[in-house]
Structure formats: structure tokens, C-alpha cells
Amino acid sequence: MKKLFNLFYTNLFLTSRLFMALGGCVVLFLLAFFFPWLGVIPELVFYTLVILTFIDILMLYRTAKGIFAKRHAPERLSNSDDNELGIYIENWYPFNISAGIIDEIPFQFQKRDIWFKTELKPRQRKLINYALRPTKRGEYEFGQVRVFVRSPVGLITRRYNFKQAETLAVYPSFLQMRKYELMAISNNLSEIGIKKIRRLGHSLEFEQVKNYVQGDDYRTINWKATARQGTLMTNNYTDEKSQHVYCVIEKSRAMKMPFDGLSLLDYAINASLVLSNVALLKEDKAGLITVAEKIGTVVPADRRPTQINKILEVLYKEKTRYLETNMEVLYSTIRSVIKQRSLVVFFTNYESMSALQRQLPFLKRIAKFHLLLVVFFENTELKKLSEEAAVDVEGIYIKTIAEKFAYDKKLIVKELAKYNIQSILSTPKNLTVNTINRYLEIKAKQKI
């Protein structure tokens, strides 16, 4: 009896239509009992509803497995991007059905409206696509796929449970990395905001001597080769390769600040991943250092095919720490690990001049041996407050404080420039584009 009850509870659900029908049956039965002069009409309606209910149950349950459903998900999800998922459903009933589908998505998304309705003909298949945008790296647990089926009668709903429990890892934004990778390969980075930089002279990397063609720079003509060959020959130059590019990511409490659902650390991680991949495509060597109160992970610069996967795996595990960054440890690590002049891109965040002054002595030491690029964030909320019109004394006070903090950010840029330290003050949204722009500019001007 208990098993029968559990089967009924699990698979048979009374819809609102069935409740109304049962209520109507009770009313009709009472009318036929207390008012016999109404004739047999209530009894006929009552028995008709009972028969329809029985037919509906028979239609839904005479087939042991009338529906098949399965979740289609990628092997891993990309942080801060819209990831495409799908529910594949197939109707094995010999009649048309209407189905409601619930996918038990991870609690991190805080979405309770993943409900899809569809109509299926006999033997028809459908793939229902939807997108999820995670905002935190880590493991996400998916539950079951539940399908609620109704026949054309529509009085009974049968529930199917498909065990699709799985755990997917959310990695740094590899979808964004692939987008920039395709742009870099096709030399179309300017289409997404990457500026074209005018080259200052030639690179020192000589490639080959080739025949002169119209459009070549006449200043590159090799007159000795021309005399030997009897035709104009020119020297061909290429970008300098195998230069070292290190991304240094600060993980202190300053990087915990959120923007559009993501922390500043996640924006720095996504930008570092894209920059490292672009550097590898430009045949430079990419490396990584993470730091907080102590050194986290060190990935020496390399350009092997597995380097970007190694960096991706390291960035996946990084978390914010809540202590002050130990710049002395960072400086000693850079001196011991990076043996030749390199581009060091330091992702951090300064909210005031005092925060910069605590780190400035070590930044100046690093800049003596390497080309240092400090990347920090513009506070977009403060910018909105400074641009709003003040209507009362409190508004004037808030606007003044916001303008003061925004002005401090600009002073930080000027203070760094005094010591020949390049910097980028960027909104989190534009961080990746601005960082790649500066990298390409540095490569074009041969500053490394």
C-alpha cells in the first residue's frame, strides 16, 4: 500500500482542471441526490467526467516510458559569459502532448523561473535552448530534469524525473579569450576597440631579403643584394619575438569590490587570461604571478602550446584574500624569477593616494629592471555620484566627496608617470580592451 501511495505521489498530479472537474462531479452528484426532479442530466455529466478521467489516466500510463529528456551542457562554464545549455526532449506517445519542463539549476544563479512549455507531436523531437551567466568561479551542481506531461484530455498531469545530476566547473572567461584569439589571428582586433598603433621605425628583428614589390618602403632596399641579383631587393623585418610578458594579480581585500556581479579580481583574471593568450599568439612568452600577504602561484614565462591551459587552471583556483599585499615579497620574487627585462602588468586597485604611497617604493624598484604597467580600476559608482546634480546640502556633500575620490585616481596616474611607470585607469567593463591596447602600443613602440 505504501509503494502504491509513493507511486501515485511521484507520478500523478491533479491539475487545476481536474480539481474543478471533481468539484463539479460532487456538485452534480448532490444535485441528483437531493433534487431527483432534475432528471438524469447531472448523473450523465458526472459519469462522463469519471470516464474522461479514467481515459486520461489510461492514455498517460499505458506507456511505461512515454517521454525521454536529457540536459545538454558544456564540459565547463565560462565566467561572466552567457553559456548555452539545452534540454533535449522526445515524445514516445502515439498522440500529441503538452509538456512543462523544469531544469534544477545550481542555487548560485538564484533563478526559480526555469520553466519551459512546449507541444510535441508523436515521435517528435525538440531541443530547448537557454543561457546561464555565472558570476563566480567554482563548482556548480545541477539537479534533475523534470517533465510534466498532459494528454489532449488535459485532466491529469504525469511527472517524469530524469536523473541528470552533474557538477560543472566555472572557469575564467575562456569564451572571451577565444573571441579575442580569433580577432588576433585574423588581424581584426580593431573591430572590437583595439586601436591601430603607428609604428615608430622598424623592429630590430631581421627576417629575410625579398624581391621589391610596389608599396614596399624604399628605405629598406638592400643595395648589395640588388647589385648581385640585378633586380631590386628589400630587407624584410618582423616583430621582435620571445619577449616576456608577466601578469601580476593582486588578491588582497582591495580586489573584492563587486561590479555587475563580478569582483574586481575576476575582471583582472579574465583580462590576464586574454592578454596572455594574445601575447602567445604574438609569439611572446606569457607568465603569471599572484600575490597577497604572500606569493600565491608563479608560472614562469613560456610559449609552449600547453602554457595557456596551465595559466587557465591556475586562475580557476585563485580566491581573494583579506590581508594587505606584501610588496617586499613581490619585489624579491620578481627579481628571482624574471631574469631578463620584461613587461610586468600589475593588476591592482588604489582608492586613495595613501594606498599608492605604501607601495610606491617597491614599484619604483621594479620599474628599474622591467617595463612596469600598473592597471587599476575607475570607481563607476563614484563617477555617477559626481555627475549627478545636487539638490540639497547632503547631495552637495556626497557630490564633493565623490569628486575628491575621482580626482585622487587621476593624481595616482600622474604620480606614477613621474617615475616612468605606465598606468591604465579603466572601468571594469573595458579592462580587457584597454589592457590589450596598451600591450600592442608597447610592442609597436618597441619599449620592452
C-alpha cell at 274: 586574454
Beta bridge partners of 103: 145
Confidence at residue 88, expressed as pLDDT on a 0 to 100 scale: 96
CA-closest candidate to residue 199, choices 234, 235, 233, 240: 240
Res. 43: pLDDT tops 50: yes
What span, in angstroms and rounded, lies between the C-alpha atoms of 250 and 41? 81
Query: Which has the higher per-residue pLDDT, 189 or 197?
Result: 189
Instruction: Please provide the size of the chain in residues.
Output: 448
Burial of 118 (0-12, 13-18, 19+ CB in 10 A): middle
What CA–CA distance (Å, rounded) separates 98 from 435? 51
Query: Looking at residue 13, what is its pLDDT?
Result: 46
* pLDDT at position 52: 83
Report the distance separating Cα 250 and Cα 296, nearest Å: 10
User: What are the domain boundaries of the chain?
Assistant: 1-171, 174-198+240-444, 205-238
If we measure between CA atoms, which residue out of 411, 334, 325, 324 comes closest to residue 365? Answer: 334
pLDDT(209) > 80: no
pLDDT at 10 over 50: no
Could you tell me the pLDDT band of residue 46, with boundaries at 50, 70 and 90?
Answer: low
The contacts of residue 154 (CB under 8 Å, 6+ apart) are 15, 17, 56, 98
> Is the pLDDT at 205 greater than 70, yes or no?
no
> What is the CATH superfamily name and number for domain 1-171?
Immunoglobulins (2.60.40.10)
Q: What is the three-class DSSP state of 195?
A: coil
**Who wins on pLDDT, 29 or 321?**
321
Alpha-carbon span 330 to 341, nearest angstrom: 16
Mean pLDDT of 119-136: 94
More confident residue, 52 or 268: 268
Task: Collapse the DSSP code of 64 into the 3-class scheme (helix H, G, I; strand E, B; otherwise coil) and give the result.
Answer: coil
The whole-number pLDDT of residue 14 equals 45
pLDDT, residue 379, reads 85
At residue 1, the pLDDT reads 47
Burial class (CB in 10 A: 0-12, 13-18, 19+), 278: buried
pLDDT of residue 322: 83
**Greater pLDDT, 260 or 311:** 311
- % pLDDT > 90, the chain: 53
Instruction: Look at 197-211, 339-353, 378-392 and tell me which has the smallest mean pLDDT.
Output: 197-211
Cell of 99: 509538456
Q: Is the pLDDT of residue 33 over 60?
A: no
List the Cα angle 432/427/400 in 5-degree steps: 170
Q: Is the pLDDT of residue 79 over 50?
A: yes
pLDDT value, residue 145: 94
Nearest in space to 378 (alpha carbons), one of 296, 262, 259, 216: 259
- Asked if pLDDT for residue 316 goes beyond 80, the answer is yes
Angle between helices 431-444 and 174-185 (to 10 degrees): 30
Which residue is listed with cell 540639497? 392
User: Is residue 355 over pLDDT 50?
Assistant: yes
- Which of 63-67, 85-89, 175-179, 184-188 bottoms out in mean pLDDT, i.e. has the lowest? 184-188
Is 182 in contact with 208 (CB distance < 8 Å)? no
Which residues, including other chains, have CB under 8 Å from residue 222's CB and lie 6 or more apart? 209, 233, 234, 235
Return the minimum-mean-pLDDT range out of 11-25, 40-54, 217-231, 241-255: 11-25
3-state DSSP assignment of residue 282: coil
**The pLDDT of residue 185:** 59
Location of C-alpha cell 610559449: 303
List the alpha helices (DSSP H) in 169-256. 174-185, 223-229
Rounded to an integer, the average pLDDT of 317-345 is 92
Within 10 A of 288 (CB to CB), how many other CB atoms are there? Answer: 25
CATH architecture of 174-198+240-444: 3-Layer(aba) Sandwich (3.40)
In whole angstroms, how far apart are CA 223 and each of 75, 211, 218, 231? 58, 12, 11, 10
More confident residue, 297 or 14: 297
Whole-angstrom CA distances from 215 to 203, 206, 207, 231 are: 18, 19, 18, 16
More confident residue, 250 or 110: 250
How many C-beta atoms surround the C-beta of residue 75 within 10 A?
7
Average pLDDT over residues 280-306: 93
Task: Enter the pTM of the model.
Answer: 0.78
Residue 376 contacts residue 411 (beta carbons within 8 Å): no
DSSP string, 289-324: EEESSSEEEEEEEE--TTHHHHHHHHHHH-----S-
What are the beta bridge partners of residue 160? Answer: 147
Stretch 103-113: mean pLDDT, rounded? Answer: 89
95 has a pLDDT exceeding 90:
yes
Is residue 297 scored above 80 in pLDDT? yes
Return mean pLDDT, the chain: 84
> Per mean pLDDT, which range of 32-46, 169-183, 207-221 is the poorest?
32-46
Q: Which of 25-39, 159-173, 364-378 has the lowest mean pLDDT?
A: 25-39
Asked if the model's pLDDT at residue 110 lies above 90, the reply is no
Please work out, in degrees rounded to the nearest 5, the angle formed at the alpha carbon of residue 256 by the alpha carbons of 253 and 258: 155
